[in-house]
Structure 1
């Protein structure tokens, strides 16, 4: 069954990608790597450029499962786009990472993660 990973080009994003790759191989894949670009936000470190997407693919290139990379552009909420991809792909798992830089971040989930946990039609793995 398909595994979707919400990918951002940060250490947290690459950790989520590794976890999603393991899950996709365990479940028989495919693995769909999704980077969501907010069109209404200019420079954003969560927007992956071509080189960062290539690096993500290189991490999982020797996989036994099919890999697909999608960069979705939206003016909507990131969580809505990820849920839509999960539905389109018939995925059984969505993998996302959370930031842990601040002390409080360890105790609170961001609004995007909260929305995904309550609205995703699949299981959600938070890394």
Structure 2
């Protein structure tokens, strides 16, 4: 069984990856990182994997695998497919805060993942600024 996590190099992506690692440790599972940072980094001439992903791969306490979907592949579909291919027991995604009007509508990718995934989905948000 695997924990599938959608990752972008954003505060929400970091929160999702951190939570996926916690869940993997609790469940004695491995982590499959669907890494969307590679296409963003490649367009800026940076290495395909950012520092956060490299740290996870170097950490021996959790087995991790990275999937770099094609730039034109739908983000929701790539997470759902990864869950199907890797016996996903949980998908972890990060959500960003929205304004009052935006709260009426969940992001299209998040909505598709929540509705179409064949396993539970955990949505996390990044920690807010310290008060």
TM-score interval for Structure 1 and Structure 2 normalised by the shorter chain: 0.7 to 0.9
Task: State the superposition RMSD in angstroms.
Answer: 2.8
1:114 Cα deviation (Å)?
A: 0.6
- Quickly say closer, same or farther: Cα 1:53–1:29, change in 2 above 3 A: farther
After superposition, where does 1:49-64 map in structure 2 within 5 Å? 50=47, 52-59=49-56, 61-64=58-61
Report how many residues are paired.
Answer: 122
Confirm or deny: 8 A CA contact 1:32 1:70 kept in the other structure: yes
1:124 aligns with 2:121: yes
Deviates more, 1:89-98 or 1:58-67: 58-67
Q: With the length of structure 2 as denominator, give the TM-score of the two structures.
A: 0.78
**What secondary structure is seen at the aligned counterpart in 1 of 2:35?**
strand
**Unpaired segments of 5 or more residues in structure 1?**
none
Give the equivalent residue in structure 2 for 1:9.
Answer: 9
Confirm or deny: 8 A CA contact 1:4 1:94 kept in the other structure: yes
**Unpaired segments of 5 or more residues in structure 2?**
125-131
